[in-house]
């Protein structure tokens, strides 16, 4: 699945948060989105995922224009976003939180659940095995049985993304996935995001303050400033771009 945003605009009163933004997320790719504070990154991310309704433009998931659709409808179209504040389901284990995000339906409905039919039990096993595999990908398998409410901030960020991946999106939008993570967790996050592309065939949009992290995992990068796209290209091309360096990299990667 491809995402193509064209001429997306959003205005809040006299403030132009987005000014005719174009963005492409090709199938099986990792795209980084960078820019200083006020560049419009968060507004664009929320416009793509339905939490903000753009004033102008189209947002195409293959042939479906999702601009202005509700987040739930966009999620059913297999575009899922995570945001900075991770919110686990209180009282559930780490494993339980991931199981909640599973899209597979158990076989046989309520009767099968009450009776514990072989088909229902097999469905439960498949979900549990897949959930544990996701937790392994994010380095969380050893704490699968712990209450998710007691996790560190870094662990919660990893769990939030694992839970989103459990819904089997074709495109995953990540808002500050490295925020609050230590270097070991960032390395694990980088490996996990690459595996989403390489092993699961997903496309990922990554917005993050950590420039080396974004540059290290992205196939292509889009740079924004003042609500506009100022550059798009490979990490090497963006690093050399004078407009990007003036707007973003020259201020030490603070966004």
% of the chain at pLDDT higher than 90: 57
Adjacent-strand bridge partners of 224: 229
The residue among 221, 231, 229, 233 whose CA lies nearest residue 7 is 229
Report the range of poorest mean pLDDT among 78-92, 138-152, 231-245: 78-92
What is the pLDDT averaged over residues 8-17?
Answer: 94
Region 121-132: what's the mean pLDDT? 83
CA 33 to each of CA 57, 73, 139: distance values in angstroms, whole numbers, following the listed order? 19, 24, 25
The stretch 135-164 carries a mean pLDDT of: 88
| pLDDT given at position 203 | 97
Judge contact between 235 and 215, C-beta under 8 A: yes
Q: What strands lie across the sheet with 3-12, from one edge to the other?
A: 15-25, 3-12, 56-61, 64-65
What are phi and psi for residue 168, nearest 5 degrees? 55, 55
| 84-94 residue pLDDT tens | 776 788 789 99
| Stronger pLDDT, 208 or 247, i.e. the higher one | 208
Percentage of residues of the chain with pLDDT beyond 70 = 89
pLDDT in tens, 14-66: 899 999 999 999 999 999 999 988 899 999 999 999 999 999 999 999 999 99
110 versus 244: which is more confidently predicted? 244
pLDDT at 112: 46
Whether 132 has a pLDDT exceeding 60, the answer reads yes
pLDDT at 67: 96
Domains, the chain, with CATH or none:
3-88+169-251 (3.40.50.300), 91-150 (no CATH)
Taking residues 219-244, report their average pLDDT: 94
Show Cβ contacts of residue 149 under 8 Å, excluding neighbours closer than 6 positions: 88, 90, 91
Q: Are 204 and 196 in contact (CB under 8 A)?
A: yes
What's the pLDDT tens digit per position in 92-117? 999 999 998 776 554 444 444 445 56
Question: Mean pLDDT for the chain?
Answer: 87
DSSP-based three-state secondary structure for 99:
helix
Six token digits for residue 199: 């092993």
Compute the average pLDDT of residues 234-247.
91
Q: How far is CA 251 from CA 103, 209, 228, in A?
A: 43, 12, 18
Assigned token pair, 91: 């009282």
Task: Please give the Cα distance from 118 to 108 (Å, whole number).
Answer: 10
Residue 177 has pLDDT above 80, yes or no: yes
DSSP secondary structure string, 190-238?
Answer: HHHHHHHHHTT--EEEEE-S-HHHHHHH-SEEEEEETTEEEEEE-HHHH
- In this prediction, residues 119-141 reach a mean pLDDT of 83
pLDDT at 119: 64
Q: How far apart are CA 102 and CA 220, in angstroms?
A: 30
Q: What mean pLDDT do residues 166-171 have? A: 91
Q: Counting beta carbons within 10 angstroms of the beta carbon of residue 163, is it exposed (0 to 12), middle (13 to 18) or buried (19 or more)?
A: buried
């Amino acid at each position: 699945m491809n995402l193509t945003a064209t001429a997306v605009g959003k205005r809040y009163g006299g403030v132009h948060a987005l000014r005719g933004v174009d963005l492409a997320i090709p199938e099986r790719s990792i795209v980084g989105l960078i820019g200083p504070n006020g560049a419009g990154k968060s507004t664009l991310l929320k416009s793509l995922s339905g939490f903000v309704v753009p004033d102008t433009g189209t947002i195409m998931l293959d042939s479906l224009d999702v601009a202005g659709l509700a987040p739930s409808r966009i999620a059913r179209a297999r575009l899922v976003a995570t945001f900075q504040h991770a919110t686990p389901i209180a009282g559930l284990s780490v494993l339980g939180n991931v199981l909640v995000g599973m899209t597979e339906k158990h076989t046989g409905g309520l009767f099968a659940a009450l009776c514990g039919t072989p088909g229902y039990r097999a469905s439960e096993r498949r979900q549990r095995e897949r959930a544990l595999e996701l937790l392994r990908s994010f380095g969380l398998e050893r704490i699968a049985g712990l209450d998710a409410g007691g996790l560190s901030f870094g662990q919660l960020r990893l769990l939030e993304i694992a839970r989103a991946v459990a819904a089997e999106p074709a495109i995953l939008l990540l808002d500050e996935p490295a925020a609050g993570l230590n270097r070991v967790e960032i390395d694990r996050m980088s490996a996990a995001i690459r595996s989403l592309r390489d092993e699961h065939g997903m496309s990922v949009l990554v917005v993050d303050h950590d420039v080396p992290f974004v540059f290290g995992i992205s196939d292509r990068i889009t740079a924004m400033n003042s609500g506009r796209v100022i550059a798009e290209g490979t990490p090497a091309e963006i690093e050399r771009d004078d407009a990007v360096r003036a707007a973003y990299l020259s201020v030490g990667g603070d966004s």
